[in-house]
Amino acid sequence: MNSVVMITGRMDFIKGFKFDFSLPLSEYFNFSHSWAIPNSGTEGDKNPFNSLMPGSMSKPTYTFTTQLVRDVKSPTEHPGTIMLGKFDSEGKVEAILLKNINNNINLRFTGSFQSSNVEQGVMGADIDIEGKNSMTVLRLGLGHFGLNFMQRVHRNLMLGFDYSNLTAQKMSFFSYGMKGFWGKHTMFAQYIALQDQMNLAYVAPIKKGTSFVSHWRYDRR
């Protein structure tokens, strides 16, 4: 289970104001600007593990993002290749390459650098395998590997787990999650072992292209 923040559209939950501006130059290439301004007096997240998660911002941040789409066969199908680059005013850089192998398998390469020090970078490769009623993700990176699996156990319910192993720290842990459907409404519940964190989310469609998202997070640390 990826973080609920990612499941619900990679939305950043911040204590303050955020302004986004996107400009597609063509149907294959676009870029966007984002300005995030926290409330005055915001101290950031006291949990050191959460400092890498969205929402830990403690000062104004500008982010520039570009996305290039290639190998588009038809408007109704997912593109064969997606390349995304992102950097912000704090020196963080992120690059993602998504490659569609076939209808059921996708390959994803990621690289993330939290500062200009390349030794602090994180790189990894994921293989997404989609079955008729299940989704499996195999992860391999520098100093870590893992397995993510979700299975539909009922037409309105999916259950899953995530196993991660940090080889350098000699640590391993399991996380658990569920995704429920009720009509057009979607509900998520997730426990993340590394952060000792519980996430609950609710998504309700308002109209085409617009949804209402409610997210609650509880940190035990």
Name the band, by pLDDT with cuts 50, 70 and 90, for residue 138.
Answer: very high
**Nearest CA among 178, 218, 211 for reference residue 9:** 211
Residue 212, burial from CB neighbour count under 10 angstroms (0-12, 13-18, 19+) = exposed
Indicate whether 116 pLDDT > 80: no
Q: How far is CA 92 from the centre of its chain?
A: 16
Strand-pair partners of 112: 94, 122
Q: So what's the pLDDT on residue 38?
A: 79
Q: What is the rounded average pLDDT of the residues 170-176?
A: 91
Q: So what's the pLDDT on residue 53?
A: 43
For the chain, domain boundaries = 4-219
Strand-pair partners of 191: 176, 198
| Tokens linked to 58 | 């403690």
Query: Do 141 and 124 contact (CB within 8 A), yes or no?
Result: yes
Q: What is the rounded average pLDDT of the residues 132-150?
A: 91
| Tokens linked to 10 | 């990679």
**Nearest CA among 30, 8, 11, 9 for reference residue 21:** 30
- Cα distances (angstroms) measured from residue 55 to each of 18, 74, 158, 182, 216: 11, 36, 27, 29, 13
Give 132's contacts (C-beta < 8 A, 6+ positions apart): none
Locate the DSSP E strands across 57-209: 61-70, 81-88, 93-100, 105-113, 122-130, 134-141, 144-154, 157-166, 171-182, 185-192, 197-207
Indicate whether 1 pLDDT > 50: no
Q: So what's the pLDDT on residue 25?
A: 86
Indicate whether 54 pLDDT > 90: no
3-class DSSP state of 171? strand
Q: So what's the pLDDT on residue 47?
A: 47
Name the band, by pLDDT with cuts 50, 70 and 90, for residue 50.
Answer: very low
Query: Do 187 and 172 contact (CB within 8 A), yes or no?
Result: no
Q: So what's the pLDDT on residue 196?
A: 87
CATH code of the domain occupying 4-219: 2.40.160.10
